[in-house]
Structures are given as structure tokens and as C-alpha cells.
Amino acid sequence: MKKNQTKAWLFLAPTVILSTLFLIWPILRAFVMSFQSGSLINLSWTGFSNYKYIFSDPEFWSSMSHTILYAVVTVPIGLAISVMLAWMIFSKVKHKSFWETTFFMPYVTSTIAIGIVFRYIFNGDYGILNFVLKFFHLPTANWLDDPSMSMITVIIFGIWTSLAFNIVILMGALRNIDPNFYTIAEMYGASSNEKFWRITMPQLVPTLAFLLTMDVISAFKVYTSIYALFNGQAGVGNSASVAVFYIYNKFQMVGTPGVAMAATVILFLLILLTTFLQRKLMKKIGEN
């Protein structure tokens, strides 16, 4: 018996209405606006000119290349460190929940507030980081005021921020691995290293693929941490401008919403592509 309980729509109404207004409509609108020019109240159709504009805008390319550089460096390093730490917490030490609680702290705290602390730590003159580096006779740097250092500073902060989520998700996955695998491996005299590479890693592959995608997507959207590190700027001389900065600038500061939306569409497609690749990857893993 197939019922049609129309009252369901009553329960769904708030979600459907709000999602249409603030999720579906804005996507469609962004697509449309990317083909329009003029100010927000006076838009007119211009075809592909916004896309032509951004593709020949060096500022757009530098923002995109910073974004991609950030993703390509931050994500693998962050993941590698997270796997190491999660595995150590899981297999080597006591008080696992203490470690987990510690490492998860950055996830719940405001990026702006922590960014202010990092700005202080990174300070070229009296920051504690340079002091520690000097103490160990390592080269110091002008982390915040030297344009060639900006992206490195952003990446370090990005890695620091990304560990929390990765570790907690990896811990969840490690707990789900059948403990019998390890018991049997131990019976055959497997070393800790062998257990890690032969049992743990293969079992972690789906989780790693998931985290890789999530991390890449959130790297594409990086904004707040840069805003906080450089006090509202995109680094000295825009040396750390990323995609969202570019969009914000074109939308709010320059007042060319069409250009901003064209860049948004590109960013959106990049994220969609990443999600699509993840789905494919997961499917392939599932088949093996």
C-alpha cells in the first residue's frame, strides 16, 4: 500500500522554503550574475565578458595559484602528521581520550581569536617563534611582513588548524578496525611497523580518501585564517590573496558583483570536481 501523506510537506515546509531561498536560489542567481555586469541594483547582460575578464586578470591567477598551493601543501602534510599522531594515540599510549581532547581543541575555537595569537607568535621583532628558532641556532624569518614568507606562514597556521578534525576522524576509523586482525598478526609475530602498514593503512584508505576531499574542499575555501593573521589584509601587497579574498574584494570593495560571481562559479566547479573525484575514488576502493 503506497500512501501519500501530504501532511509531510507541512513538517518539511520550513526547511524546503528556507533552502529554496538561501541555498538553491543563490546558486542559480550566482550563475546568472556571472553573465551580468554593472552594480547590484543595475545589472545588465554581458555574456562571457566576466569570465574573459577574470581569466586575463593576473590578480585572479595569483589568488587561484595561492589557493591551490595552499591546498597542495597543507593537506598532505596535515594528513601525514595526523595519521602519525592518531596511530600513536591509538596504539602506543595510555589516556587516549586525554590526547584526543587536547588535539581537538583548535576545532572548536574561533579562528579569528587564535589568528590573533599566531600573529603575536609570528611577530618578526618580539614573537616567540623567532626567539625559539634563534635559541636553536636556526634561521629566523620575517613571517608577517615579508611578502615571500606570507604563504608559508599561512600554510603553517593551516596545518596547525587542520590536525584537530583529521585526528578525531582517524581515531574513529582506527577504533572500527576489527581488533582480531591485530591479535592474529601478533600471534604470527608481526612487528608494530608491519601491523601499521599491512593492517592499519589498508583499512584506513576510505577514511583517508574522505579526509583528503574534505581537507581539499576546506582549503579551497580558506579565508578567515588569512584575514586573522594579516589583520584583515591578504598579506603584505596581496601576497597571500586567495580565491575567497578575490571574490570578496570584487564583490564588496570594487563593486563588480558579476566578476565576483564568475570567480565564485569557477571555485564552485573546482569544489564540485573534487567531490566528484572523491566519489569515483571511493567507488574504486569499494570495488577492490
Partner 1 sequence: MKKLHVGTLVAYIILTIFAIITIFPFIYMILGGLMSFQETTAIPPTIIPKHFQWGNYAKVFKQAPFARYFLNTFIVASVTTIVSLLNSLLGAFAMVNLEFKGKKILQMVMLSLLMVPGEAIIFTNYNTIARLGLLNTYLGLVLPFLTSIFYMYYLQSYFGSISKTIYKASMIDGASDWNYIWKILVPMSKGGLFTVGLLSFISSWNSFLWPLLVTNEDTMRLLNNGLSSFASDAGAETELQLAAATLTVLPILILYFIFRKQIIQGVVRNDLKG
Q: What residues numbered 88-127 form the site for partner 1, per CB under 8 A?
A: 88-89, 92-93, 97, 99-114, 116-118, 120-121, 125-127
Nearest to 246 by CA among 87, 57, 97: 57
Do the beta carbons of residue 160 and residue 73 sit within 8 Å? Answer: no
Q: Considering only residues 228-247, where is the footprint of partner 1 by CB under 8 A?
A: 228, 231-232, 244, 247
| Residue 181 DSSP symbol | H
Minimum distance, C-beta of residue 279 to partner 1, in the bound complex (Å) = 10
C-alpha cell at 32: 546568472
Sole window of 57-65, 70-78, 136-144, 260-268 interacting with partner 1 (rule: CB under 8 A): 260-268
What are 233's three cell numbers?
A: 589584509
- Cα(38)–Cα(41) distance, integer angstroms: 8
Contact 122, 144 (CB under 8 A): yes
Window 136-175: residues binding partner 1 (CB under 8 A): 160, 163-165, 168-169, 171-173
Q: Strand, coil or helix: what is 6?
A: coil
Positive or negative torsion for Cα 218, 223, 226, 229: negative
Q: Residue 148 or residue 191: which is nearer to partner 1 going by CB?
A: 191
Residue from 3, 180, 283, 288 binding partner 1 (CB under 8 A): 3
- The mark string for 29-68 relative to partner 1 (x by CB under 8 A, - otherwise) is xx--x------x----------------------------
215: contact with partner 1 by CB under 8 A: no
